[in-house]
Amino acid sequence: MIRPTIAIATLGGTLSMQCVEPGEGVTPSLGGNELLASVPEVARLAHIRLKTLSLLPSASVDFELLLEVLAWANEQINLGAEGVVITQGTDTLEESATFFEYVWAHDTPLVLTGAMRSASETGADGPANLLDACRVAISGSSKGRGVLVVMNGEIHASLSVRKTHTLALNAFTSATLGPMGLMIERTPRFLRPGNARMTLPLPSCTTHKIALLEASLSADTLILERLEQMGYQGVVIAGLGAGHVSEQWSCALQAIAINLPVIVGSRTGAGTTAFHTYGFAGGEIDLIRKGVYLSGFLCPRKARILLWLLIGCGQLSKLNDFLAHGQGC
């Protein structure tokens, strides 16, 4: 039997962390070779092409690094890889997955995974997650599903998955539809068909800034009023409830929306924004009339990624199309 080829890139994160100095906490220290040594079953599944691209906590991952990872992943596809796996820290894993989802132009699976327990902890989950991710990456049923996140025996769609617990092993959830699939007896089992995908070309500009702010009780508008002069080229608001802000914020966002794209999502963690229910000043009907976009099911963090990519590749005119497409996430 001919074994498939998997390309694996490691970026760091908890999966790679160990305690180097007693009492000083864990830090990224294990490269790809050390990680694979803890999961010998991977080498029996497939031929492995392995690359350590960084040793960072995921809080320090940025767009420039993700573009480097994407270039590496595209090269692996051109060299014949039948699946690509990327390991990184979990703090920004959902955002990285969203980034890749919008620019991954292949039917070949791209799978992200990480760990909630460091490599030096008893019961570390990293090896099992990495093995599951590799199994998903080479599964024929994963093809055409875009970018997937595999954690704790579950397979999640990139646009719906979120980290919803600080430390628990089941920290990753997809609130509305649940996971796309499960690992059952070492085999990926998908629970529903994949959605049609919309992708973007690579950004030609990467220096623009998109603000992400959260609406809250009695919040002032000082930062909002200064966003444009600070050089931001768009803003995403994690709004109250079904996508709402105060009357004062509504007025401030109307002024911003004259020159910059403004998206309002929900800070609640589950469900969609409303579109035609609430009529008060600061409600979604009022905001839409003032030129503000509502993100629907797409959470504010993911909406910021989308907006950054659309502006970067000069396709901001497609924002409504992508937000509407995200309603199926």
Annotated binding site: 58, 90-91
Distance from chain centroid for Cα 63: 12
Second-level CATH architecture of 5-190: 3-Layer(aba) Sandwich (3.40)
**Which tens digit of pLDDT belongs to each residue from 65-121?**
999 999 999 999 999 999 999 999 999 999 999 999 999 999 999 999 999 999 989
Q: Helical H runs in the chain?
A: 32-37, 41-45, 63-78, 93-103, 126-137, 222-226, 247-257, 284-289, 300-312, 319-325
Annotated binding site for substrate: 58, 90-91
- Examine the pLDDT at 229 and tell me if it is beyond 90: yes
What pLDDT is recorded for position 328? 61
Domain with CATH 3.40.50.40 in the chain: 211-328
- Provide the CATH topology of domain 211-328: Rossmann fold (3.40.50)
CA–CA distance, 294 with 308 (Å, rounded to integer): 16
What pLDDT is recorded for position 167? 96
Give the catalytic positions in this structure.
14
- Examine the pLDDT at 325 and tell me if it is beyond 70: yes
Q: Count the neighbouring beta carbons within 10 Å of the beta carbon of residue 68.
A: 14
Residue 21, amino acid = E
What pLDDT is recorded for position 329? 62
Q: Which residues contact 54 (CB under 8 A, 6 or more apart)?
A: 10, 11, 12, 61, 65
Q: Residue written as tokens 């089992």?
A: 189
Residue 183, SS3 per DSSP? strand
Q: Mean pLDDT across the stretch 268-272?
A: 96
Residue 316, SS3 per DSSP? helix
* Bridging pattern class, strands 181-184 and 154-157: antiparallel
Residue 324, amino acid = A
Domain with CATH 3.40.50.1170 in the chain: 5-190
What pLDDT is recorded for position 258? 98
